[in-house]
Structure 1
C-alpha cells in the first residue's frame, strides 16, 4: 500500500561488531543441523522434555520450522 518503486537506502549501522570470524574453513553445512536427531543431543533432550518419543524424533529437516529444535542442533554435524 505505502510502498514505492524506489526503496530507501540502508541506514547506518551503529555499535555493531563481529560475533565470530571463522574464515573459509566452516560453511553453513557445518553449522546447520541435518540428518537424524541423535538420541543424546540437546535437541533430543528438548523433545523428550516435551513428551516426544524417540521413535518420533525424525530428522532436523522435518523439524526445520521449530527454532527451538534447530538452535539446539546447531553444530550437530561436527
Structure 2
C-alpha cells in the first residue's frame, strides 16, 4: 500500500524523496587492523555477545533538504497535514 510523505524538517516537500533500503551485514573485526575476521550470514551464526540488528529496514531522505529518518515519521507528518 502506498503512503503519502511529507518532510518533517522542511515541511513543504511532498514529492521528492530517496528511499534507502538498509541491508545490515554482521561482521567481526580485528581490533588492531579493522579488517574483517568473520562475516556472519544469519542471526543464528552470531556470537553470544553479538546483538543482531533490529533497526528500520527502510529509511527515507528528503531530496529537498536532505534530512534522513524512518519512513513512519514522513507518513505521520503527511497524515497530520493533509493537502
Name the TM-score class by shorter chain: under 0.3
Normalization by structure 1: what TM-score?
0.23
**More helix by percentage:** 1
**More strand by percentage:** 2
